[in-house]
Homo-oligomer: A and B are copies of this chain.
Amino acid sequence: MTEFRSMAAETGEPHGDPFKVHGPADVAAACASADAAFIRYSSTSREDRAAFLERIAEEIMAIGDPLIEAAMTESGLPRARLDGERGRTWNQLRMFADVVRRGQWLQVRIDPALPERQPPRPDLRMRMVPLGPVAVFGASNFPLAFSTAGGDTASALAAGCPVVVKGHPAHPITGDLVAQAISRAVAACGLPEGVFGHLVGPSNELGATLVQDPRIAAVGFTGSRMGGLALSRIAQTRKVPIPVYAEMSSINPVVLLPEALKARGAELGAAFVGSLTMGAGQFCTNPGLVLAIEGEGLDAFIGAASETVAGAGPQTMLTTGIRDAYAKGVEALSGCAGVETLAKGETGDRTRGDANLFQTTGSAFLSDEGMGHEVFGASSIIVRCKNEGELAKVIAGLEGQLTATLHMDAADEAAASRLLPALERKVGRILANGWPTGVEVCHAMVHGGPFPATSDSRTTSVGSLAIDRFLRPVCYQNLSQSVLPDELRDDAASNGVPRLVDGKLTLD
Protein backbone atom coordinates (compact mmCIF):
# COMPACT_ATOMS: atom_id res chain seq x y z
CA MET A 1 0.00 0.00 0.00
CA THR A 2 1.41 3.40 -0.95
CA GLU A 3 -1.55 5.61 -0.05
CA PHE A 4 -4.25 5.66 2.61
CA ARG A 5 -7.24 7.86 3.35
CA SER A 6 -8.88 9.36 6.40
CA MET A 7 -12.12 7.68 7.50
CA ALA A 8 -15.04 9.76 8.75
CA ALA A 9 -16.02 8.43 12.18
CA GLU A 10 -19.75 8.88 11.70
CA THR A 11 -20.00 7.06 8.37
CA GLY A 12 -16.99 4.78 8.56
CA GLU A 13 -16.26 5.86 4.96
CA PRO A 14 -13.10 7.39 3.47
CA HIS A 15 -13.00 11.12 2.82
CA GLY A 16 -10.52 13.80 1.77
CA ASP A 17 -7.32 13.46 -0.23
CA PRO A 18 -5.13 10.38 0.11
CA PHE A 19 -1.93 10.45 2.18
CA LYS A 20 1.37 8.91 1.16
CA VAL A 21 2.15 5.93 3.38
CA HIS A 22 5.56 6.34 4.97
CA GLY A 23 7.99 3.43 4.82
CA PRO A 24 11.38 2.43 6.26
CA ALA A 25 13.28 5.03 4.19
CA ASP A 26 11.07 7.81 5.58
CA VAL A 27 11.61 6.53 9.13
CA ALA A 28 15.37 6.46 8.63
CA ALA A 29 15.36 9.96 7.16
CA ALA A 30 13.24 11.38 10.01
CA CYS A 31 15.46 9.75 12.65
CA ALA A 32 18.69 10.88 10.98
CA SER A 33 17.33 14.41 10.84
CA ALA A 34 16.25 14.28 14.52
CA ASP A 35 19.66 12.94 15.52
CA ALA A 36 21.44 15.65 13.54
CA ALA A 37 19.31 18.28 15.31
CA PHE A 38 19.85 16.88 18.80
CA ILE A 39 23.00 18.61 20.01
CA ARG A 40 21.92 21.97 18.64
CA TYR A 41 18.36 21.72 20.02
CA SER A 42 19.39 20.29 23.38
CA SER A 43 21.71 23.24 23.93
CA THR A 44 19.11 25.95 23.26
CA SER A 45 18.75 28.40 26.14
CA ARG A 46 15.78 27.97 28.45
CA GLU A 47 14.28 31.18 27.07
CA ASP A 48 14.62 30.10 23.43
CA ARG A 49 13.12 26.71 24.12
CA ALA A 50 10.21 28.22 26.04
CA ALA A 51 9.55 30.71 23.23
CA PHE A 52 9.52 27.82 20.75
CA LEU A 53 6.86 25.96 22.78
CA GLU A 54 4.76 29.12 22.93
CA ARG A 55 5.14 29.58 19.21
CA ILE A 56 3.82 26.06 18.59
CA ALA A 57 0.78 26.92 20.72
CA GLU A 58 0.18 30.07 18.66
CA GLU A 59 0.59 28.29 15.34
CA ILE A 60 -1.96 25.68 16.38
CA MET A 61 -4.50 28.34 17.37
CA ALA A 62 -3.82 30.13 14.08
CA ILE A 63 -5.14 27.14 12.11
CA GLY A 64 -8.55 28.18 13.36
CA ASP A 65 -11.79 26.37 12.71
CA PRO A 66 -10.52 24.00 10.00
CA LEU A 67 -8.63 22.17 12.77
CA ILE A 68 -11.76 21.68 14.87
CA GLU A 69 -13.78 20.60 11.85
CA ALA A 70 -11.19 18.07 10.73
CA ALA A 71 -11.00 16.61 14.24
CA MET A 72 -14.82 16.44 14.47
CA THR A 73 -15.10 14.55 11.20
CA GLU A 74 -12.26 12.18 11.95
CA SER A 75 -13.04 11.43 15.62
CA GLY A 76 -16.81 11.85 15.80
CA LEU A 77 -16.27 13.91 18.98
CA PRO A 78 -18.47 17.01 19.41
CA ARG A 79 -17.27 20.59 18.80
CA ALA A 80 -17.35 21.65 22.46
CA ARG A 81 -15.14 18.76 23.48
CA LEU A 82 -12.64 19.51 20.72
CA ASP A 83 -12.66 23.23 21.50
CA GLY A 84 -11.78 22.27 25.06
CA GLU A 85 -9.12 19.88 23.87
CA ARG A 86 -7.49 22.56 21.76
CA GLY A 87 -7.48 24.84 24.80
CA ARG A 88 -5.83 22.08 26.79
CA THR A 89 -3.20 21.59 24.09
CA TRP A 90 -2.45 25.34 24.14
CA ASN A 91 -2.33 25.44 27.97
CA GLN A 92 -0.09 22.42 28.12
CA LEU A 93 2.46 23.87 25.72
CA ARG A 94 2.47 27.14 27.66
CA MET A 95 2.76 25.33 30.99
CA PHE A 96 5.86 23.52 29.72
CA ALA A 97 7.26 26.86 28.49
CA ASP A 98 6.87 28.12 32.05
CA VAL A 99 8.46 24.95 33.45
CA VAL A 100 11.42 25.25 31.07
CA ARG A 101 11.99 28.87 32.14
CA ARG A 102 11.91 28.07 35.87
CA GLY A 103 14.59 25.43 35.36
CA GLN A 104 13.74 23.18 38.31
CA TRP A 105 13.79 20.24 35.89
CA LEU A 106 17.56 20.71 35.57
CA GLN A 107 17.84 19.42 39.16
CA VAL A 108 21.06 21.36 39.66
CA ARG A 109 23.16 19.90 42.46
CA ILE A 110 26.51 21.22 43.61
CA ASP A 111 28.90 19.69 46.13
CA PRO A 112 31.77 22.18 46.36
CA ALA A 113 35.35 20.94 46.61
CA LEU A 114 36.71 20.21 50.09
CA PRO A 115 40.47 20.54 49.47
CA GLU A 116 41.32 20.25 53.19
CA ARG A 117 39.48 16.97 53.71
CA GLN A 118 41.50 13.72 53.65
CA PRO A 119 41.14 12.52 50.93
CA PRO A 120 40.21 15.88 49.35
CA ARG A 121 36.75 16.08 47.80
CA PRO A 122 36.69 17.29 44.19
CA ASP A 123 34.18 19.86 42.93
CA LEU A 124 31.07 17.94 41.80
CA ARG A 125 28.12 19.40 39.89
CA MET A 126 25.09 17.69 38.41
CA ARG A 127 22.33 18.59 36.00
CA MET A 128 19.79 16.77 33.88
CA VAL A 129 20.36 16.38 30.13
CA PRO A 130 17.86 15.22 27.47
CA LEU A 131 17.90 11.55 26.45
CA GLY A 132 17.95 12.05 22.67
CA PRO A 133 15.33 11.88 19.89
CA VAL A 134 11.94 10.67 21.17
CA ALA A 135 9.32 8.69 19.22
CA VAL A 136 5.76 9.74 20.09
CA PHE A 137 2.68 7.69 19.22
CA GLY A 138 -0.46 9.81 18.98
CA ALA A 139 -3.57 8.54 20.75
CA SER A 140 -6.84 8.07 18.89
CA ASN A 141 -9.05 9.35 21.71
CA PHE A 142 -7.42 12.76 22.12
CA PRO A 143 -6.75 13.88 18.54
CA LEU A 144 -5.35 17.19 19.80
CA ALA A 145 -4.27 17.05 23.47
CA PHE A 146 -2.66 13.61 23.31
CA SER A 147 -1.64 13.30 19.72
CA THR A 148 0.72 15.15 17.35
CA ALA A 149 1.31 18.17 19.63
CA GLY A 150 0.01 16.51 22.80
CA GLY A 151 1.48 15.91 26.21
CA ASP A 152 4.23 13.52 25.11
CA THR A 153 5.43 15.84 22.34
CA ALA A 154 5.26 18.93 24.55
CA SER A 155 7.16 17.32 27.44
CA ALA A 156 9.83 15.77 25.18
CA LEU A 157 10.43 19.07 23.38
CA ALA A 158 10.52 20.84 26.76
CA ALA A 159 13.21 18.40 27.90
CA GLY A 160 15.33 19.26 24.86
CA CYS A 161 14.59 16.15 22.80
CA PRO A 162 13.72 16.27 19.09
CA VAL A 163 10.46 14.41 18.43
CA VAL A 164 9.39 12.05 15.66
CA VAL A 165 5.62 11.54 15.81
CA LYS A 166 3.99 8.45 14.43
CA GLY A 167 0.60 10.04 13.69
CA HIS A 168 -2.52 8.09 14.57
CA PRO A 169 -4.16 6.80 11.36
CA ALA A 170 -7.62 7.57 12.80
CA HIS A 171 -7.04 11.32 12.31
CA PRO A 172 -4.44 11.93 9.57
CA ILE A 173 -5.95 15.25 8.43
CA THR A 174 -5.98 16.67 11.96
CA GLY A 175 -2.47 15.32 12.54
CA ASP A 176 -1.16 16.83 9.32
CA LEU A 177 -2.57 20.28 10.16
CA VAL A 178 -0.90 20.18 13.58
CA ALA A 179 2.40 18.80 12.20
CA GLN A 180 2.54 21.66 9.71
CA ALA A 181 1.92 24.14 12.52
CA ILE A 182 4.81 22.68 14.53
CA SER A 183 7.10 22.78 11.50
CA ARG A 184 6.19 26.46 10.98
CA ALA A 185 7.17 27.11 14.60
CA VAL A 186 10.49 25.27 14.08
CA ALA A 187 11.26 27.46 11.06
CA ALA A 188 10.08 30.67 12.72
CA CYS A 189 12.37 30.01 15.68
CA GLY A 190 15.36 29.28 13.45
CA LEU A 191 15.72 25.72 14.74
CA PRO A 192 16.98 22.79 12.67
CA GLU A 193 14.20 21.03 10.73
CA GLY A 194 14.89 17.72 12.47
CA VAL A 195 13.54 19.02 15.79
CA PHE A 196 10.18 17.69 14.64
CA GLY A 197 9.30 14.83 12.28
CA HIS A 198 5.95 13.33 11.35
CA LEU A 199 5.29 9.88 9.92
CA VAL A 200 1.93 8.51 8.84
CA GLY A 201 0.55 5.22 7.69
CA PRO A 202 -2.04 2.65 8.72
CA SER A 203 0.27 -0.27 9.61
CA ASN A 204 1.83 -1.31 12.91
CA GLU A 205 5.10 -1.95 11.07
CA LEU A 206 5.69 1.76 10.68
CA GLY A 207 5.74 2.21 14.45
CA ALA A 208 7.86 -0.88 14.96
CA THR A 209 10.46 0.38 12.49
CA LEU A 210 10.53 3.72 14.27
CA VAL A 211 11.14 2.15 17.71
CA GLN A 212 13.85 -0.06 16.25
CA ASP A 213 15.80 2.86 14.84
CA PRO A 214 19.06 3.15 16.83
CA ARG A 215 18.80 6.94 16.91
CA ILE A 216 15.56 6.88 18.91
CA ALA A 217 16.28 7.19 22.65
CA ALA A 218 12.80 6.89 24.22
CA VAL A 219 9.17 6.27 23.32
CA GLY A 220 5.91 7.91 24.44
CA PHE A 221 2.74 5.97 23.68
CA THR A 222 -0.94 6.10 24.61
CA GLY A 223 -3.13 3.30 23.32
CA SER A 224 -4.03 -0.32 23.75
CA ARG A 225 -2.39 -2.82 26.06
CA MET A 226 -1.47 -4.99 23.10
CA GLY A 227 0.12 -2.08 21.27
CA GLY A 228 2.02 -0.84 24.32
CA LEU A 229 3.36 -4.29 25.14
CA ALA A 230 4.46 -4.88 21.55
CA LEU A 231 6.42 -1.61 21.49
CA SER A 232 7.94 -2.37 24.90
CA ARG A 233 9.18 -5.74 23.65
CA ILE A 234 10.74 -4.15 20.58
CA ALA A 235 12.42 -1.48 22.71
CA GLN A 236 13.81 -4.05 25.15
CA THR A 237 15.26 -6.34 22.50
CA ARG A 238 17.12 -3.60 20.61
CA LYS A 239 20.90 -3.73 20.75
CA VAL A 240 20.61 -0.70 23.04
CA PRO A 241 17.32 -1.00 24.97
CA ILE A 242 15.39 2.24 25.52
CA PRO A 243 12.62 3.33 27.91
CA VAL A 244 9.02 3.10 26.74
CA TYR A 245 6.35 5.18 28.46
CA ALA A 246 3.18 3.41 27.42
CA GLU A 247 -0.15 4.38 28.93
CA MET A 248 -2.23 1.32 28.21
CA SER A 249 -5.06 -0.07 30.23
CA SER A 250 -7.13 0.92 33.26
CA ILE A 251 -10.64 0.32 34.56
CA ASN A 252 -10.46 3.00 37.28
CA PRO A 253 -12.28 1.54 40.28
CA VAL A 254 -14.88 3.74 41.95
CA VAL A 255 -15.37 2.79 45.61
CA LEU A 256 -18.71 3.74 47.15
CA LEU A 257 -18.25 3.97 50.90
CA PRO A 258 -21.29 3.14 53.06
CA GLU A 259 -22.21 6.54 54.49
CA ALA A 260 -21.96 8.33 51.16
CA LEU A 261 -24.04 5.61 49.56
CA LYS A 262 -26.64 5.85 52.30
CA ALA A 263 -26.83 9.64 51.99
CA ARG A 264 -27.04 9.94 48.20
CA GLY A 265 -27.13 6.59 46.40
CA ALA A 266 -29.47 7.64 43.61
CA GLU A 267 -27.69 10.93 42.99
CA LEU A 268 -24.33 9.13 42.73
CA GLY A 269 -25.82 6.55 40.37
CA ALA A 270 -26.94 9.17 37.87
CA ALA A 271 -23.71 11.17 38.11
CA PHE A 272 -21.64 8.01 37.65
CA VAL A 273 -23.32 7.30 34.30
CA GLY A 274 -22.55 10.86 33.22
CA SER A 275 -18.83 10.05 33.67
CA LEU A 276 -19.23 6.57 32.17
CA THR A 277 -20.84 7.69 28.92
CA MET A 278 -18.89 10.92 28.38
CA GLY A 279 -17.19 10.82 24.97
CA ALA A 280 -18.69 7.35 24.35
CA GLY A 281 -16.64 6.10 27.28
CA GLN A 282 -13.44 6.49 25.30
CA PHE A 283 -11.29 7.80 28.14
CA CYS A 284 -8.28 6.14 29.74
CA THR A 285 -9.87 7.19 33.03
CA ASN A 286 -13.35 5.87 32.27
CA PRO A 287 -14.93 4.32 35.41
CA GLY A 288 -15.23 0.70 34.28
CA LEU A 289 -15.53 -0.75 37.78
CA VAL A 290 -17.68 0.15 40.78
CA LEU A 291 -16.96 -1.42 44.18
CA ALA A 292 -19.51 -1.27 46.98
CA ILE A 293 -20.47 -3.06 50.15
CA GLU A 294 -23.99 -4.51 50.29
CA GLY A 295 -26.16 -2.12 52.30
CA GLU A 296 -28.43 0.84 52.36
CA GLY A 297 -28.24 3.01 49.24
CA LEU A 298 -26.66 0.46 46.91
CA ASP A 299 -30.00 -0.47 45.35
CA ALA A 300 -30.81 3.20 44.90
CA PHE A 301 -27.42 3.71 43.20
CA ILE A 302 -27.98 0.73 40.93
CA GLY A 303 -31.55 1.76 40.16
CA ALA A 304 -30.59 5.28 39.13
CA ALA A 305 -27.53 4.13 37.20
CA SER A 306 -29.48 1.46 35.35
CA GLU A 307 -32.23 3.89 34.43
CA THR A 308 -29.74 6.44 33.13
CA VAL A 309 -27.87 3.82 31.09
CA ALA A 310 -31.14 2.51 29.63
CA GLY A 311 -32.00 6.01 28.47
CA ALA A 312 -28.58 6.70 26.94
CA GLY A 313 -28.44 6.97 23.15
CA PRO A 314 -25.71 5.29 21.09
CA GLN A 315 -22.63 7.42 20.39
CA THR A 316 -20.27 7.55 17.46
CA MET A 317 -17.02 5.85 18.38
CA LEU A 318 -13.55 6.86 17.17
CA THR A 319 -13.19 4.11 14.57
CA THR A 320 -15.15 1.08 13.44
CA GLY A 321 -12.28 -1.04 14.76
CA ILE A 322 -12.73 0.43 18.25
CA ARG A 323 -16.50 -0.04 17.94
CA ASP A 324 -16.01 -3.72 17.03
CA ALA A 325 -13.56 -4.33 19.87
CA TYR A 326 -16.00 -2.67 22.26
CA ALA A 327 -18.88 -4.90 21.13
CA LYS A 328 -16.69 -7.97 21.60
CA GLY A 329 -15.57 -6.84 25.05
CA VAL A 330 -19.16 -6.27 26.15
CA GLU A 331 -20.18 -9.68 24.83
CA ALA A 332 -17.32 -11.39 26.67
CA LEU A 333 -18.14 -9.63 29.94
CA SER A 334 -21.84 -10.42 29.71
CA GLY A 335 -20.98 -14.08 29.19
CA CYS A 336 -18.84 -14.43 32.34
CA ALA A 337 -20.28 -16.73 34.98
CA GLY A 338 -21.88 -14.67 37.72
CA VAL A 339 -22.25 -11.50 35.66
CA GLU A 340 -25.75 -10.04 35.29
CA THR A 341 -26.66 -7.38 32.75
CA LEU A 342 -28.32 -4.50 34.59
CA ALA A 343 -29.00 -2.18 31.69
CA LYS A 344 -28.19 -1.55 28.06
CA GLY A 345 -28.59 1.78 26.28
CA GLU A 346 -30.25 2.23 22.92
CA THR A 347 -28.62 -0.22 20.49
CA GLY A 348 -25.71 1.06 18.45
CA ASP A 349 -24.68 0.17 14.92
CA ARG A 350 -21.55 -0.17 12.78
CA THR A 351 -20.07 3.15 13.96
CA ARG A 352 -21.90 3.76 17.24
CA GLY A 353 -21.52 2.09 20.61
CA ASP A 354 -24.23 1.60 23.24
CA ALA A 355 -23.84 1.99 27.01
CA ASN A 356 -23.72 -1.16 29.15
CA LEU A 357 -23.96 -1.79 32.87
CA PHE A 358 -23.32 -5.10 34.63
CA GLN A 359 -23.19 -6.39 38.17
CA THR A 360 -21.54 -9.29 39.94
CA THR A 361 -20.57 -10.36 43.44
CA GLY A 362 -17.21 -9.94 45.14
CA SER A 363 -16.60 -13.68 45.18
CA ALA A 364 -17.46 -14.08 41.48
CA PHE A 365 -15.16 -11.16 40.60
CA LEU A 366 -12.34 -12.64 42.66
CA SER A 367 -12.62 -15.96 40.85
CA ASP A 368 -12.47 -14.59 37.28
CA GLU A 369 -9.51 -12.42 36.31
CA GLY A 370 -11.16 -11.60 32.97
CA MET A 371 -13.78 -9.40 34.64
CA GLY A 372 -11.00 -6.98 35.55
CA HIS A 373 -9.86 -6.40 31.97
CA GLU A 374 -10.52 -3.09 30.28
CA VAL A 375 -13.43 -2.81 27.84
CA PHE A 376 -12.64 0.45 26.04
CA GLY A 377 -15.99 2.27 25.79
CA ALA A 378 -19.07 3.01 27.92
CA SER A 379 -19.23 -0.29 29.83
CA SER A 380 -18.94 -0.75 33.57
CA ILE A 381 -19.44 -3.49 36.13
CA ILE A 382 -20.65 -3.08 39.70
CA VAL A 383 -19.11 -5.49 42.23
CA ARG A 384 -21.27 -6.12 45.31
CA CYS A 385 -19.00 -7.02 48.23
CA LYS A 386 -20.24 -8.73 51.37
CA ASN A 387 -18.20 -6.54 53.74
CA GLU A 388 -15.13 -4.33 53.98
CA GLY A 389 -12.91 -7.42 54.18
CA GLU A 390 -14.11 -8.66 50.81
CA LEU A 391 -13.82 -5.15 49.38
CA ALA A 392 -10.21 -5.02 50.54
CA LYS A 393 -9.56 -8.40 48.92
CA VAL A 394 -11.00 -7.20 45.62
CA ILE A 395 -8.77 -4.11 45.76
CA ALA A 396 -5.70 -6.21 46.60
CA GLY A 397 -6.43 -8.45 43.60
CA LEU A 398 -6.76 -5.63 41.06
CA GLU A 399 -4.21 -4.91 38.37
CA GLY A 400 -2.48 -1.51 38.37
CA GLN A 401 -4.76 1.43 37.57
CA LEU A 402 -4.52 5.09 36.57
CA THR A 403 -7.06 6.16 39.20
CA ALA A 404 -9.19 5.09 42.13
CA THR A 405 -12.14 7.12 43.32
CA LEU A 406 -13.63 7.20 46.79
CA HIS A 407 -17.16 8.43 47.35
CA MET A 408 -17.26 9.22 51.04
CA ASP A 409 -18.80 11.26 53.79
CA ALA A 410 -17.11 12.44 56.96
CA ALA A 411 -18.24 9.26 58.71
CA ASP A 412 -16.44 7.19 56.03
CA GLU A 413 -13.04 8.72 56.78
CA ALA A 414 -11.85 5.88 59.00
CA ALA A 415 -12.71 3.32 56.32
CA ALA A 416 -11.04 5.49 53.66
CA SER A 417 -7.87 5.72 55.75
CA ARG A 418 -7.84 1.93 56.15
CA LEU A 419 -8.16 1.41 52.38
CA LEU A 420 -5.70 4.16 51.38
CA PRO A 421 -2.38 2.25 51.68
CA ALA A 422 -3.71 -0.60 49.51
CA LEU A 423 -5.04 1.86 46.93
CA GLU A 424 -1.68 3.68 46.84
CA ARG A 425 0.00 0.42 45.79
CA LYS A 426 -2.39 0.07 42.86
CA VAL A 427 -2.95 3.51 41.35
CA GLY A 428 -1.40 6.81 40.28
CA ARG A 429 -4.23 9.11 41.43
CA ILE A 430 -6.71 8.79 44.27
CA LEU A 431 -9.70 11.11 44.21
CA ALA A 432 -12.56 11.76 46.56
CA ASN A 433 -16.12 12.68 45.67
CA GLY A 434 -15.56 13.32 41.98
CA TRP A 435 -15.18 11.29 38.81
CA PRO A 436 -11.93 10.11 37.27
CA THR A 437 -12.68 11.48 33.79
CA GLY A 438 -11.32 15.00 33.49
CA VAL A 439 -7.57 15.12 34.04
CA GLU A 440 -6.26 18.52 35.11
CA VAL A 441 -3.02 19.56 33.38
CA CYS A 442 -1.01 20.94 36.29
CA HIS A 443 2.03 20.30 38.47
CA ALA A 444 0.59 17.84 40.99
CA MET A 445 -1.19 15.65 38.41
CA VAL A 446 -0.22 12.00 38.02
CA HIS A 447 -1.64 10.30 34.96
CA GLY A 448 0.22 7.07 35.41
CA GLY A 449 0.18 4.04 37.64
CA PRO A 450 1.44 0.48 38.13
CA PHE A 451 1.43 -2.01 35.26
CA PRO A 452 -0.67 -2.45 33.12
CA ALA A 453 -2.04 1.08 33.58
CA THR A 454 1.36 2.09 32.25
CA SER A 455 4.61 0.36 31.42
CA ASP A 456 6.49 2.55 33.92
CA SER A 457 4.84 3.47 37.21
CA ARG A 458 7.64 5.92 38.07
CA THR A 459 6.23 8.60 35.80
CA THR A 460 3.22 10.55 34.57
CA SER A 461 2.21 11.41 31.02
CA VAL A 462 0.06 14.42 32.00
CA GLY A 463 1.27 17.43 33.97
CA SER A 464 4.63 19.10 34.36
CA LEU A 465 6.34 16.11 36.00
CA ALA A 466 6.11 14.40 32.57
CA ILE A 467 9.27 16.25 31.50
CA ASP A 468 11.34 14.03 33.83
CA ARG A 469 10.69 11.03 31.57
CA PHE A 470 13.06 12.37 28.94
CA LEU A 471 15.97 13.40 31.14
CA ARG A 472 18.99 11.73 32.70
CA PRO A 473 21.62 13.03 35.14
CA VAL A 474 25.21 13.90 34.24
CA CYS A 475 27.86 14.77 36.83
CA TYR A 476 30.77 17.14 36.11
CA GLN A 477 33.83 16.72 38.30
CA ASN A 478 36.49 19.46 38.57
CA LEU A 479 35.58 21.01 35.23
CA SER A 480 36.78 24.59 34.82
CA GLN A 481 34.16 27.34 34.81
CA SER A 482 34.53 28.01 31.10
CA VAL A 483 33.94 24.38 30.13
CA LEU A 484 30.98 23.80 32.52
CA PRO A 485 27.43 24.05 31.14
CA ASP A 486 25.93 27.51 31.78
CA GLU A 487 23.53 26.54 34.57
CA LEU A 488 26.30 24.94 36.62
CA ARG A 489 28.70 27.86 36.61
CA ASP A 490 29.30 29.91 39.72
CA ASP A 491 27.97 33.02 38.00
CA ALA A 492 24.62 31.30 37.37
CA ALA A 493 23.90 31.03 41.09
CA SER A 494 21.37 33.85 41.09
CA ASN A 495 19.54 33.05 37.86
CA GLY A 496 16.48 31.71 39.68
CA VAL A 497 17.18 28.01 39.06
CA PRO A 498 17.00 26.15 42.40
CA ARG A 499 20.24 24.43 43.48
CA LEU A 500 20.88 21.65 45.93
CA VAL A 501 24.16 22.79 47.50
CA ASP A 502 25.76 20.23 49.81
CA GLY A 503 22.33 18.62 50.10
CA LYS A 504 20.58 21.83 51.05
CA LEU A 505 18.04 23.33 48.67
CA THR A 506 18.58 26.99 47.88
CA LEU A 507 16.49 29.24 45.68
CA ASP A 508 19.25 31.67 44.78
Q: Enumerate chain A interface residues (CB-CB to B < 8 A).
A: 38-39, 42-43, 95, 98-99, 102, 104, 107, 109-111, 119, 121-122, 124-126, 129, 131-132, 232, 236, 240-241, 243, 400, 406, 410, 413, 416-417, 420-422, 424-425, 427-434, 438, 440, 442-446, 448, 450-452, 455-460, 464-465, 471-480, 482-483, 498, 500, 502-505, 507
CA of A200 to CA of B413, assembled, Å? 45
Q: Which residues of B contact A43 (CB under 8 A)?
A: 421
Q: Is the CB of B122 within 8 A of A445?
A: no
Question: Residue A446 contacts which of B126, B240, B425, B446 (CB distance < 8 angstroms)?
Answer: B126
Q: Which residues of B contact A425 (CB under 8 A)?
A: 38, 132
Q: Is the CB of A444 within 8 A of B131?
A: no
Q: Which residues of B contact A129 (CB under 8 A)?
A: 424
Copies per complex of this chain: 2
Specify which of A126, A422, A480, A505 lies most central, judged by the most chain B CB atoms within 10 Å of its CB. Answer: A126
Q: Which residues of B contact A502 (CB under 8 A)?
A: 443
Chain B min CB distance to A388 (Å): 16
Q: Which residues of B contact A440 (CB under 8 A)?
A: 111, 121-122, 124
- A-side interface mostly: mixed
Q: Is the CB of B102 within 8 A of A503?
A: yes
Chain B min CB distance to A82 (Å): 16
Chain B min CB distance to A149 (Å): 21
Residue of B nearest to A126 (CB): B444
Q: Is the CB of B475 within 8 A of A444?
A: yes
CA of A270 to CA of B498, assembled, Å? 41
Specify which of A416, A465, A475, A502 lies most central, judged by the most chain B CB atoms within 10 Å of its CB. Answer: A475
Q: Which residues of B contact A122 (CB under 8 A)?
A: 431, 434, 440
Question: Residue A111 contacts which of B119, B243, B444 (CB distance < 8 angstroms)?
Answer: B444
Q: Which residues of B contact A119 (CB under 8 A)?
A: 438
